[in-house]
Amino acid sequence: MRKILAAAATLGLAGLGVIVPATAAQASAACDTAWRNAASGYFYAYDYDSCSGTLGLDDDNDANWSDTSGSFQSGDNDDAQSILHKGTSGMAVKVYRHASYGGGHTCLKKSEYYMDDLTGHTYTDGSGVNVSISSHKWVWESDCGKFLNS
């Protein structure tokens, strides 16, 4: 799903207090708000669609969302339904189907801001991204075989 924020940024209007049109999808509006309120430099994952129910946030990598260390633990594994990128380095966030950066992957670019509903998106191995992410890593876009919005 395309994002209002991205469109505004493309036009150079981001940060100028541009009012989101009333016709904007509610889901995107919720993630726009979440993005504006997010901590700079961090990747967020959410329990539900529309950037709702924060599972965790991380300015680093986490090789295992089902262990007991790092920003994502135990129940966070195979649970994310929306994700958000507020990194500042220009790197993308690469999310993986399995722990230890295994299985298929897809990436969320800095310029994509967020994906408010992972349903219907697939990893490079063809399996669904929704409620399936098990590890993540910050990488340069050249290290991504696939992007969520492409």
Q: Which residues bind Ca ion (CB under 5 A)?
A: 62, 64, 67, 70, 72, 78, 97, 132, 134
Please compute Rg for the chain using Cα positions.
14
Q: Which is nearer to Ca ion, 50 or 64 (CB)?
A: 64
Q: What are phi and psi of 122, to 5 degrees?
A: -125, 155
Residue 53 or 70 having the CB closest to Ca ion: 70
**Contact present, 62 and 70 (Cβ < 8 Å):** yes
Which residue, chain included where needed, has tokens 């409620």? Answer: 131
User: What's at 52, amino acid-wise?
Assistant: S
Taking the complex as a whole, how short is the minimal distance between the CB of residue 54 and Ca ion, in angstroms? Answer: 15
Closest CB 122 distance from Ca ion, rounded Å: 13
Nearer to Ca ion, 62 or 116 (CB): 62
Residue nearest to Ca ion (CB): 70
Nearer to Ca ion, 68 or 150 (CB): 68
d(Cα 129, Cα 51) in Å, to the nearest integer?
A: 15
Tokens matching residue 34: 């979440």
Least separation in angstroms between residue 58's CB and Ca ion is 9
